[in-house]
C-alpha cells in the first residue's frame, strides 16, 4: 500500500506564464512510439505530456533572466554580456580565465584536442557519452576509475561518484604518468545515477595527481548539486554555503568545463590552455567573446549563475527529485539509490528482469512508460554506452537505467 508522503520542499517562485500541452490517449501514444522506433529521442515533443528526457536546454528561466535577454549586446566583438559572464565565472567558480562555447560538448571537443595526444589515457569517474567520444576522437582511451559501489544500483554509499585512488594509482603505474594528460572528474556522476563525490575524495585525488604531475579537470555541469550534497552529507561542511563549497571544489581543479545548455563554458587557471582554447574557439565556435552564444544568452547565463547557488533554489531542486523517488519507491519501483541530484534513475534490470541485456531492457522500459503515461524518459544503458571504436563490439554496461530528469525551474539556459 502506497503511503502519502508530504512535501519537504516548496517552490521559491510563482509561475506567471503557462504553455499549453497536448493531452493524448494510449492508442495515440502507441502509434507515436511505433513511429519513433520505440526510441524516446525520436518522439515529437508535441506528443509528450511531461518531458523528463533531459534538463539540457529545457529549463524555465526567471524574470531576472528574461529581463537580462533584453540587455543583449549583439556586438560581434567584446559584447558587454561576455564580460558580465566572465565576471561571474571568476566570482562563483574562482577561475581567472574563461572561454564561452555554445554547448558542453564543444568545450569537451576543444579540451580533448588541446590536452590529449594519440595513445594517451584519460581516467575518469565513469564515462559520459559526449565526454568519452571527444576523448576517443582525440586518440585517447577512457579508463573508468570510479569506486565499485557506483556500478551497483542498490548500493547506498553516500558518495558513489568518488574516484578509487587505488584504481587510479594502478593505472599510473601501468601506463606511466606521462601518458595521462589529466584526470577527468564529474560531479554528480550522471551515468551512475546523479551520484556526488565527497570533498575528502577530491582532496585525496588532487594530492595524488599533484604527486605524479597530472592535471585534474572537472566536468562542472551540475557542480552546485555536488556542492549541495557535500553540505548535506559530509561531516564538517554543514555550515558552509553552496556558493562557498562550489568555490572550494573548483580550487582543487586546473580547469573546468560546463554544458552551456545547463550552465555554460570552459574556465581554467592554466594560462597556456586558456590561450590555446581562445584561439581554437574562433575556428570552431565563434569569436572568443561569444563562442557561438548570443549576447543575450550570455547575460541570461550570467544571471543564472547568481541564482543557481541560492540555497532555496538548489535545495528545492534536489528535494523535488527526492520526493519523486520516495513516491515511486512506495509503489515498489526499483530505483538507483541514493537518489540523484537532477534525476531519478529507474533500474530496468530489476524492473524488467525477464529481459536479457541484449533485448534492451532500459530502452523498452522508457518506451513503455511513454505509451502508458505520456511521460518521456531517457535510456541510459546498452544503447547509450555504444560500441568500442577499435573493435566495433557492443559495450555492456553494468547499469541499465531509465533516467527521469527534472528540468530546472530556475537556471540559466540558452535560447533554443
Ligand atoms: C549534457 C552534459 C554534457 C554535454 O553538454 P551539452 O551542452 O549537451 O553538449 C557534458 N557533461 C555532462 C555531465 C552532461 O550532463
Ligand 1 atom closest to Cα of 189? 13
Q: Say if 229 falls within a structural domain.
A: yes
User: Same domain for 304 and 363?
Assistant: no
The predicted model scores a pTM of 0.92
> Kind of pairing, strands 255-258 and 265-268?
antiparallel
C-alpha cell at 387: 560500441
pLDDT at 10: 82
The torsion defined by the Cα of 346, 352, 355 and 359, in degrees rounded to 10, comes to -40
Is the per-residue pLDDT at 28 higher than 50? yes
Measured between alpha carbons, how far apart are the two ends of the chain, in Å? 43
pLDDT at 409: 64
The torsion defined by the Cα of 338, 304, 106 and 141, in degrees rounded to 10, comes to -30
Q: Does residue 188 have a cis bond before it (omega within 30 degrees)? A: yes
Bridge partners, residue 186, by sequence: 219
Q: Say if 112 falls within a structural domain.
A: yes
User: Same domain for 273 and 209?
Assistant: yes
Q: Is 26 helix (H, G, I), strand (E, B) or coil?
A: helix
Q: Say if 9 falls within a structural domain.
A: no
Determine the Cα–Cα distance for residues 298 and 73; give it in Å rounded to an integer.
9
- CATH code assigned at 180: 3.40.640.10
Mean pLDDT of the chain: 92
**Residue 73 domain boundaries:** 63-308
Ligand 1 atom closest to Cα of 264? 7
- Nearest to residue 258, comparing CAs of 107, 390, 113? 107
CA of 264 to the centre of ligand 1 (A): 9
Name which residue sits closest to atom 2 of ligand 1, judged by CA. Answer: 259
State how many domains the chain has: 2
User: Same domain for 285 and 334?
Assistant: no
CB 261 within 8 A of CB 221: no
Percent above pLDDT 70 for the chain: 95
CA of 260 to the centre of ligand 1 (A): 8
pLDDT at 328: 95
Ligand 1 binding pocket, CB closer than 6 Å: 56, 103-105, 128, 130-131, 186, 190, 219, 221, 259-261
Model confidence band, residue 412 (pLDDT cutoffs 50, 70, 90): very low
CA of 76 to the centre of ligand 1 (A): 26
C-alpha cell at 198: 565527497
CA of 224 to the centre of ligand 1 (A): 15
CA of 126 to the centre of ligand 1 (A): 14
Q: Say if 198 falls within a structural domain.
A: yes
Domain stop point among 285, 308, 331 = 308
Q: Say if 410 falls within a structural domain.
A: no
User: Same domain for 197 and 297?
Assistant: yes
Q: Say if 236 falls within a structural domain.
A: yes
Model confidence band, residue 413 (pLDDT cutoffs 50, 70, 90): very low
Is the per-residue pLDDT at 56 higher than 80? no
User: Same domain for 171 and 45?
Assistant: no
Determine the Cα–Cα distance for residues 50 and 52; give it in Å rounded to an integer.
6
User: Same domain for 280 and 322?
Assistant: no
Bridge partners, residue 144, by sequence: 124
User: Same domain for 38 and 67?
Assistant: no
The distance between the two most distant Cα atoms of the chain, rounded to a whole number of Å, is 61
- By mean pLDDT, which of 5-19, 27-41, 134-148, 277-291 is the weakest? 5-19
What H or E segment, with its residue span, contains residue 376? strand 375-376
Ligand 1 atom closest to Cα of 186? 13
Is the per-residue pLDDT at 416 higher than 60? no
Question: Per-residue pLDDT averaged across 182-186, rounded?
Answer: 97
Ligand 1 atom closest to Cα of 262? 7
- The dihedral built from the CA positions of residue 293, 298, 300 and 303, taken in this order, carries a sign that is positive
Determine the Cα–Cα distance for residues 99 and 291; give it in Å rounded to an integer.
7
Model confidence band, residue 388 (pLDDT cutoffs 50, 70, 90): confident
CA of 259 to the centre of ligand 1 (A): 5
Q: Say if 264 falls within a structural domain.
A: yes
User: Same domain for 230 and 259?
Assistant: yes
Question: Tens digit of pLDDT for each residue in 89-132?
Answer: 999 999 999 999 989 999 999 999 999 999 999 999 998 989 99
User: Same domain for 76 and 165?
Assistant: yes
Determine the Cα–Cα distance for residues 281 and 285; give it in Å rounded to an integer.
5
Domain stop point among 265, 288, 308 = 308
Percent above pLDDT 90 for the chain: 82
CA of 78 to the centre of ligand 1 (A): 26
- By mean pLDDT, which of 70-74, 126-130, 232-236, 280-284 is the weakest? 126-130
C-alpha cell at 209: 595527481
Question: Per-residue pLDDT averaged across 342-365, rounded?
Answer: 96
C-alpha cell at 125: 569517474
- CATH code assigned at 47: 3.90.1150.10
Question: Per-residue pLDDT averaged across 313-341, rounded?
Answer: 93
User: Same domain for 80 and 151?
Assistant: yes
Question: Tens digit of pLDDT for each residue in 133-143?
Answer: 999 999 999 99
Ligand 1, pocket-test mutation among 101, 190, 264, 293, most atoms within 8 A of CB: 190
Domain stop point among 289, 308, 327 = 308
Model confidence band, residue 415 (pLDDT cutoffs 50, 70, 90): very low
Name which residue sits closest to atom 12 of ligand 1, judged by CA. Answer: 221
Q: Say if 227 falls within a structural domain.
A: yes
User: Same domain for 96 and 145?
Assistant: yes
Name which residue sits closest to atom 4 of ligand 1, judged by CA. Answer: 104
396 burial (CB, 10 Å; 0-12 / 13-18 / 19+) is: exposed
- By mean pLDDT, which of 273-277, 279-283, 386-390 is the weakest? 386-390
Query: Which backbone phi and psi does 308 adopt, to 5 degrees?
Result: -70, -25
Beta-carbon neighbour count of residue 141 at 10 Å?
A: 18
pLDDT at 15: 86
Alpha helix ranges (H) inside 287-396: 295-308, 311-330, 348-351, 361-373, 382-385
CA of 287 to the centre of ligand 1 (A): 22
Determine the Cα–Cα distance for residues 154 and 244; give it in Å rounded to an integer.
32
The string of DSSP letters for 200-228 reads HHHHHHHHHHHHTT-EEEEE-TTHHHHHH
pLDDT at 72: 95
CA distances from 223 to 172, 198, 248, 256, 314 (A): 26, 12, 11, 10, 11
Q: Which residues, other chains included, contact 176 with Cβ-Cβ below 8 Å and sequence gap of 6+?
A: none
Ligand 1, pocket-test mutation among 111, 259, 301, 416, most atoms within 8 A of CB: 259
pLDDT at 389: 85
User: Same domain for 205 and 226?
Assistant: yes
Amino acid at each position: 500500500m502506497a503511503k502519502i508522503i508530504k512535501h519537504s520542499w516548496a517552490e521559491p517562485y510563482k509561475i506567471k506564464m503557462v504553455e499549453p500541452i497536448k493531452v493524448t490517449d494510449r492508442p495515440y501514444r502507441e502509434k507515436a512510439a511505433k513511429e519513433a522506433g520505440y526510441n524516446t529521442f525520436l518522439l515529437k515533443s508535441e506528443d509528450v505530456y511531461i518531458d523528463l528526457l533531459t534538463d539540457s536546454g529545457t529549463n524555465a528561466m526567471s524574470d531576472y533572466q528574461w529581463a537580462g535577454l533584453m540587455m543583449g549586446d549583439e556586438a560581434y566583438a567584446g559584447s558587454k554580456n561576455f564580460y558580465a559572464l566572465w565576471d561571474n565565472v571568476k566570482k562563483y567558480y574562482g577561475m581567472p580565465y574563461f572561454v564561452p562555447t555554445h554547448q558542453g560538448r564543444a568545450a569537451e571537443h576543444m579540451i580533448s584536442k588541446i590536452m590529449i595526444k594519440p595513445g594517451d589515457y584519460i581516467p575518469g569517474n565513469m564515462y559520459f557519452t559526449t565526454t568519452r567520444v571527444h576523448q576517443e576522437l582525440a586518440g585517447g582511451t577512457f579508463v573508468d576509475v570510479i569506486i565499485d559501489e557506483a556500478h551497483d544500483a542498490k548500493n547506498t554509499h553516500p558518495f558513489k561518484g568518488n574516484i578509487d585512488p587505488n584504481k587510479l594509482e594502478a593505472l599510473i603505474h601501468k601506463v606511466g604518468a606521462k601518458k595521462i594528460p589529466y584526470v577527468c572528474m564529474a560531479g554528480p556522476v550522471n551515468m551512475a545515477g546523479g551520484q556526488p563525490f565527497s570533498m575528502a575524495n577530491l582532496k585525496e585525488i588532487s594530492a595524488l595527481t599533484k604527486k605524479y604531475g597530472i592535471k585534474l579537470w572537472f566536468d562542472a555541469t551540475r557542480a552546485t548539486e555536488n556542492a549541495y550534497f557535500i553540505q548535506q552529507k559530509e561531516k564538517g561542511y554543514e555550515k558552509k554555503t553552496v556558493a562557498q563549497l562550489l568555490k572550494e571544489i573548483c580550487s582543487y581543479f586546473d580547469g573546468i568545463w560546463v554544458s552551456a545548455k545547463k550552465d555554460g563554458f570552459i574556465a581554467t587557471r592554466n594560462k597556456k590552455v586558456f590561450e590555446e582554447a581562445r584561439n581554437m574557439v574562433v575556428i570552431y565556435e565563434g569569436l572568443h567573446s561569444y563562442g557561438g552564444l548570443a549576447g543575450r544568452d550570455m547575460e541570461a547565463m550570467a544571471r543564472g549563475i547568481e541564482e543557481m547557488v541560492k540555497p532555496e533554489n538548489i535545495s528545492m531542486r534536489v528535494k523535488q527529485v527526492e520526493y519523486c523517488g520516495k513516491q515511486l519507491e512506495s509503489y515498489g519501483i526499483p530505483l538507483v539509490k541514493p537518489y540523484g541530484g537532477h534525476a531519478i534513475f529507474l533500474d530496468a534490470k530489476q524492473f524488467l528482469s525477464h529481459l536479457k541485456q541484449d533485448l534492451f531492457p532500459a530502452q523498452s522500459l522508457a518506451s513503455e512508460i511513454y505509451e502508458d503515461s505520456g511521460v518521456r524518459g531517457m535510456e541510459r544503458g546498452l544503447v547509450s554506452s555504444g560500441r568500442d571504436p577499435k573493435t566495433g563490439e557492443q559495450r555492456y554496461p553494468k547499469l541499465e537505467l531509465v533516467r527521469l530528469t527534472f528540468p530546472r525551474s530556475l537556471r540559466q539556459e540558452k535560447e533554443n
